Structure 1
Amino acid sequence: MTSILTMGHSMRRALCCASLMALCAPAAHAQQAAAGVATGGDGDIIVTARKREETLLDVPVAVSAFSGAKLEASGIANVSNLIGEVPSLFTTQNQTFGPAPNQTYLVLRGVGATSSNDPAVGTFLDGVYQTSLNFDQGFLDLERVEILRGPQGTLFGRNTQGGALNIVTAKPDGNFRFKLQGEAAEFDSYKLGGSASGPVVEDKLFAGMAVQYSRTDGYLHNVTLDRKQDNSNKLAGRFTLRATPSDALEVILRIEGSRSRYGYLGFGVPDDGSKRYVTLDGEKRTSRDHGYGGSLTVNYTFDGAVLTSITGASKTKSRYWFDFDSGPDLGNFQDQRTNQSLVSEELRLASDGSGPLTWLAGLYYFDETHDQDRNFAQGQCSACVFPPIFDPANRVLEQTKLSRDGWAAFGQASYDLGRLDLTLGARYARETSKAHQAGLIFLPGIGANDSFDGTNKASFKNFSPMASLAMHWTDDVMTYATVARGYKAGGFDKYPGSSAAVGIPFGNETSLNYEIGTKGSLLDRKLTFSLVGFLIDIHDQQLASTVISPTTGVPVGVTTNVGSSRSKGVEFELQLRPVAGLTLRGNTAYVDAKFRKITSPVGTHQVGDRLPFVPKWTAAAGGDYTIALSDALKLTGSIDYSYVGSHYIGNGAAPFDPILPIKSYDSADARLTVAGARWDLTLFVNNVFDSFNITRRFAPAFQTYTRATVAPPRQFGVRAGFHY
């Protein structure tokens, strides 16, 4: 009964949003028709889901794409804002001992965050794989963003068994461009960004740069100190140099850097849904990260083929504080420092697409390091939650040094048989992982101590084939069927926690995806749609397990291959332009993801349980109306509504990260924009109905209460931009 009432409440809000849009329709229709503004279709969007340029509606892949202009107009600042825009997409932060603001994981089709090691949805920036600490710094001067759903192991490789996020930055060309945008909103939130690009040497050399700064005081009130707690500020920049010394050669150099500071994200009161406040002590602790990186892309075109080289490098440093007891005293806390670096090279040769046979073949190499120091300590606590375990002398010191390197060979070919296309591909990969893990554990509060210092090495290999058959019924409608395999790389735990967990490798996690879909455009491209059904079998699933340390007797979480699961569902996207100036859009996804086999005790997971971080239902609807105020001015009203169904959160490594339920929640945003030829001004309100949405919970068994993280309350703001 509760779920029915919740769904009904959400439906009423959605209908309210739809009614507001409907009231504007007649006037918008009349004025827009008089203005004679033309409409366009999504079929013109170019994507590189198969590492070659194709139109969105021609590629037999479940992919959602957003242009840079769409992202800016909608206020989509990072990947987390895409929830509700992409079917079956969900995001979560690293939940090991609480949410880490700089480690965001993506979940697609129920495949994602079942451990706190490598992600299952890979992120790529201009073709370069990004580490988990490096990608969610915000969208800055982009050409487009593509979200590929389903395993992408053949072309994108490791850690893409759920899908891939493909981010493409803007490239400078022969046109001078300048853009400046500022934003101000409640909670002392500000953002300022700009970009400039143009020719340096006519037809030969082009340069571009972009920079963005944002800050906010946050919306969580610290009742102990009478101040906001979840403050943040971010600074990011990018420089791009593009050279075309000849018609056959293109060289692109990209250099970027970022710096972020975060306050505390959770709050330490029983999550009864009543307040947005925290009760932390006076010690000011901030999570922070900074990083830099770049890539060099070389494209050389000769008769019938294109040779591409993509070299990437990045280095990221992070420091992350977490207050365990969440009370007014400095009771117990974790101080974690992480350094990551990654160097990669991809070399591929592809046909120019001029004949019925299109093909590509490539080689890939990477070298990655991950160094982490973790200090868990307990201070003077006069009223700790679980004495006598919390003792000022208790301390856990850990140091983990992981390194990995590997290579892969891959290829894919498609043959056009008229209306029928056949695609076959495969990738073979090998990698070696090394680990040095050391630690000292002092637990005088329970009379137990432990120490460990171990080194180990493990090698892994994977073969990821795929096959796809696409039928083009007309020039605008196609149906496709795909079978594809993906994998998440094996390795060693980042958090050993005990001598019992040191040097124990876990193997690759693999997935096999069966998918059938149809997509296209109808009514002279006024209607575009995509409907996909899928079934994914996951084998050797990497799960957070619980083992008892033989030296301390304390439960320790460790990642092992102990499970298999199945995720099946349906995704639907629709966009309709019934009249000039009016765009209606919506999407929904149903995902049923459950454990099918667990081969050994593994925390709180049971066969038949739903996978964590997987809402059964997600849905979104929205619309834009544009009317011409004059020949030079346009007015656009926009409303977007999103719904996330009930789900579970936590990796199940009891007692540290138990499975907890999250109730369904929804949210609505609205915007009103007036735009001239060179400028635009937007008034916006996020979370129109001021919904109190709990998005994360955390309740280790050794605490007597549950912490929670809530989404921001209603927020009014203004955004202004100038472009040339």
Structure 2
Amino acid sequence: MLAHFTSILLASAAAVPAPDAPAVDAAQVQADSGDVVVTARRREERAQDVPIAMSIVDAGTIAQTGAFNVNRLQQQQPSLQFYSSNPRNSAINIRGLGAPFGLTNDGIEQGVGFYLDGVYVGRVGASTFDFVDIDRIEVLRGPQGTLYGKNTTAGAVNISTRAPSFSPEAKFEASAGDYAYYQIKGSVSGPIVGDTLAARLSGSLTRRGGTIYDTTSKKYLQKLDNFSLRGQLLWKPSEDLSFRLTGDFNAQNPLCCVQYYARVGATQRPLNRQYASLATALGYAPPSTNPFDRVTDLDASINSRQEMGGASLVGDWDIGPATITSVTAWRYWDWQPANDRDFIGLPITTVSQNPSQQHQFSQELRIASNGKNKLDYTFGVFFFTQRIDTQGSQVQGSAASRWLLNPGNVAVGASGCATPTTAACNPLTLQGLTSSNTINFDNQSFAVYGRLNWQPIEGLHIQPGLRVNYDKKSGFYESVVSIANARYNFVATADNAATLLASGAATADQFNTLAPQRYSPRFSEWNVSGDINVSYDFTPDVHGYATYARTFKSGGINLSGLPLNSTNTAVDLTTQTVKPESVNHYEIGLKTQFLDRKVTLNLAAYWDVIADYQATVNNNAINVIRGYLANAGEVQVRGFEFDSSFRPSQRVNFYVNGAYTDAKYTKFTNAPCPPELAGGGTGAVIAAPGTPGNSPASCDISGQVLPGVSKWAFSFGGEVNQPVSGGQVYLGYDGNYRSRFSSNPSPSAYTWIEGYSLSNFRLGYRKDSFNVFAWVRNAFDQNYFELLSTQSGSTGLIVGQPGDPRTFGATISASF
């Protein structure tokens, strides 16, 4: 049977095919039988027996649905959210929690752990590779700090690749489609020295033409250009001892990631400083005001080139009552971007990019009991060190002064400026203004963790867990601001900025746009996390559980620049660090199978209260692109999830999974204001939203929703098949739905992304290990946005990143 998306709160539910049914691969039979074996608790267990809210995607599902990266994966996971304006500025959230919504700040932790063959990946950007030769993906929901190396408060994505085999095998898969799309995947494995040493080599190549046309460069943007290679050696000197050495390399060089004109909303800037007047004054019009025409006019370089890879050595030693595991790993990530951060075809911000290089080393050592005993245990020690070096730059163009600065009481005509007598009307005020940033980040983490599984009576399991964690972070941030044109010529540092202002060599308008500053933040802290899980096996196929966890997300340091102090004379050093998040997590769940495991219905309900939530705030300077991090008072996330699968016969199967998520700020009094309350002057009398006048310095958004979280999300689908010539003809469908969600840290009338539904179909034939099918994705060509953002400067321009249009193609695969 075709492998479908299989939840572990779901785990699928059917018997192995009858003897006369066409043969399928072992992984597929395992997924369909409800006996999926997972390692979520650091030991092999049947999925449905694990008292954790989690889901599985197997290799067959990845191939059938085209879920070859994390972005595609979220379409099948109602509780998973993935947002990316480019690989560096990416976030993986589960149940609405994980990382603050907005541009990345190097100095904080992610709340969702990403693991590749047991190795923690320290940056979300380094997780955007294509899935190659995957065995399964486990998505764990809720805190996992007493089971996993790195403390994670929202969940974990655990990817397991296929291990080397001592039996020769090979697998090949090729896909082709419109937009000049093609993808080739392959793997070979077999013994090198008898049953002692085996090897595996896997690779993937993905290409696709762009879906968005840039009228300036005459190129199609939003391409795919990915290459992945993985090699493995498995050495088994004895039945009880094994070592798995892995090396991988991944390169991506697409022309992405593109955001452009979506709509315009009124702000509190003077009317002659809002988008419509500015565009008229500069004689500008976008190539289309319909973003789904998929055309733009970006006038700066666009790219998101990155390399990532690493090496790991995993050793397992079965000593009888327990297994000792060591995971030693080194990984790197090299990010070389190019962006157009004003999002339109005017020279406003002509360069804004942050090339980054990350290197990490981790060592984990743990012991886990074998078998099912009255008392089972897992204990571990984890060490992690990370270094990030970033070379940021931002350059303002000839239109920056007019677009970003206030022309004051200058006579306003069609051009907006009668004469260039003010800073805003003189292009030389900002033309060529450059910020060169040097950012360094060092991060060390050490933890001791463990969990017991005590069965005082048959079927009752009491599982307490504890984690002691130490985190130390240090960083350096320096912004050097310079300009050289016919009017201004200086190089400003944190040391000489005041002197330049006093002499008139530099202006406050320039330093409010790009501020010279230098600081060296530090953070270190111990914390103790704990959880307790109580579960009961009512029958072999009915399991209930309840969990309480008290856990922490490590504090961090701000590495995107700091706001100025109350007198605007220096940076506010009190904002260098951000406090840890503390999470109280409550959850109950029920996992059931019935009708001879032909039906699975699993339920979970949870309630999370997060104190000192790490959020993005602004620094009251309207011209900056990035904000900084601060602690919101409290966030509350509660909801329920269900996962269900039905297999009434060998010919029919289908599934429905859903999540309701109520995520809101219960206390956030110093939040950034939405665009309709931004961009105005300062004063006691605040103008109405979208009306020129004074703006509040910050906004109280207590009670409002968190960004990026749909209240309702579903995935659903199924398959019917018919035996033909010793094989099967099949028709499959996979769909998903998300209700509307906010795409701004503070909810705005202009940045709601309306709900949408995507439908994918496939029609194919399979026999034994051969499979060929045609597919269409986003079959009804649904127009939708993945993200909406505001243009810096509070002009009212809202830019969007559209999702992929309808695509079609075919895939063929075979195993030998």
TM-based fold match above 0.5: yes
1:157 CA displacement: 5.0
1:220 to 188, 212, 215: 212
- 1:649/1:659 contact within 8 Å kept: no
1:500 paired residue number: 571
Counterpart check, 1:447 vs 2:465: no
2:95 paired residue number: 109
- 2:562/2:576 contact within 8 Å kept: no
Counterpart check, 1:235 vs 2:227: yes
- 1:42/1:57 contact within 8 Å kept: no
Distance 1:439 1:528, change over 3 A: same
1:11 paired residue number: none
- Aligned residue pairs total 682
1:378 CA displacement: 1.8
- 1:425/1:465 contact within 8 Å kept: yes
Counterpart check, 1:342 vs 2:360: yes
Could you tell me which amino acid in structure 2 is paired with residue 637 of structure 1? L
CA–CA separation in structure 2 for the residues paired with 1:74 and 1:235: 20
Provide, for residues 538-596 of structure 1, a one-character-per-residue CA deviation record: whole Å limited to 9, x for no partner: 111111122347xx997972211232111110100000001112111011110001111
Distance 1:445 1:221, change over 3 A: farther
- 1:548/1:556 contact within 8 Å kept: no
Counterpart check, 1:525 vs 2:597: yes
Distance 1:383 1:215, change over 3 A: farther
1:609 to 697, 704, 711: 704
2:447 paired residue number: 408
For residue 62 of structure 2, give the secondary structure of its aligned residue in structure 1: helix
Could you tell me which amino acid in structure 1 is paired with residue 571 of structure 2? A
TM-score (normalised: structure 1) = 0.89
The 10-residue stretch of structure 1 (277-286 or 684-693) with the greater mean CA deviation from structure 2: 277-286
Provide, for residues 257-301 of structure 1, a one-character-per-residue CA deviation record: whole Å limited to 9, x for no partner: 111112133342234655333333465431211122021001111
1:627 paired residue number: 722
CA–CA separation in structure 1 for the residues paired with 2:50 and 2:595: 20
- 2:22/2:767 contact within 8 Å kept: no
For residue 333 of structure 2, give the secondary structure of its aligned residue in structure 1: strand
For residue 100 of structure 1, give the secondary structure of its aligned residue in structure 2: coil
CA–CA separation in structure 2 for the residues paired with 1:373 and 1:246: 49
2:808 paired residue number: 716
CA–CA separation in structure 2 for the residues paired with 1:454 and 1:385: 30
- 1:253/1:297 contact within 8 Å kept: yes
2:751 to 660, 666, 669: 660
1:489 paired residue number: 554
Counterpart check, 1:184 vs 2:176: yes
Any stretches of 5+ residues in structure 1 without a counterpart? 1-31, 94-98
CA–CA separation in structure 2 for the residues paired with 1:258 and 1:701: 33
CA–CA separation in structure 2 for the residues paired with 1:274 and 1:339: 34
1:285 paired residue number: 302
* Correspondences of 1:226-305 after superposition (within 5 Å): 226-271=218-263, 273=290, 275-281=292-298, 283-305=300-322
Counterpart check, 1:645 vs 2:739: yes
1:74 CA displacement: 2.4
2:38 to 47, 63, 79: 47
Distance 1:457 1:641, change over 3 A: same
TM-score (normalised: structure 2) = 0.80
Could you tell me which amino acid in structure 2 is paired with residue 305 of structure 1? A
CA–CA separation in structure 1 for the residues paired with 2:134 and 2:623: 52
1:142 CA displacement: 1.0
Could you tell me which amino acid in structure 2 is paired with residue 500 of structure 1? V
1:622 CA displacement: 0.3
CA–CA separation in structure 2 for the residues paired with 1:183 and 1:678: 17
CA–CA separation in structure 2 for the residues paired with 1:556 and 1:69: 41
- 1:430/1:460 contact within 8 Å kept: yes
For residue 695 of structure 1, give the secondary structure of its aligned residue in structure 2: strand
CA–CA separation in structure 2 for the residues paired with 1:384 and 1:250: 66
1:37 CA displacement: 6.2
Mark the structure with the bigger radius of gyration.
2
* Correspondences of 1:331-410 after superposition (within 5 Å): 331-332=348-349, 333-381=351-399, 385-386=403-404, 391-410=430-449
Provide, for residues 122-164 of structure 1, a one-character-per-residue CA deviation record: whole Å limited to 9, x for no partner: 1001111112221120211011100001111222254521110
1:208 paired residue number: 200
2:472 paired residue number: 432
Could you tell me which amino acid in structure 2 is paired with residue 104 of structure 1? S
CA–CA separation in structure 1 for the residues paired with 2:767 and 2:625: 62
For residue 292 of structure 2, give the secondary structure of its aligned residue in structure 1: coil
Counterpart check, 1:423 vs 2:463: yes
Provide, for residues 185-218 of structure 1, a one-character-per-residue CA deviation record: whole Å limited to 9, x for no partner: 1111111111111111111011001011111112
CA–CA separation in structure 2 for the residues paired with 1:103 and 1:439: 20
Could you tell me which amino acid in structure 1 is paired with residue 808 of structure 2? F
Could you tell me which amino acid in structure 1 is paired with residue 478 of structure 2? A
- 1:460/1:507 contact within 8 Å kept: no
CA–CA separation in structure 2 for the residues paired with 1:468 and 1:673: 44
CA–CA separation in structure 2 for the residues paired with 1:111 and 1:42: 32
Could you tell me which amino acid in structure 2 is paired with residue 642 of structure 1? N
Distance 1:173 1:658, change over 3 A: farther
Give the superposed CA RMSD: 2.5
2:639 paired residue number: 569
1:660 CA displacement: 2.3
Higher strand share: 1
* Identity between Structure 1 and Structure 2 (%): 26
- 2:65/2:734 contact within 8 Å kept: no
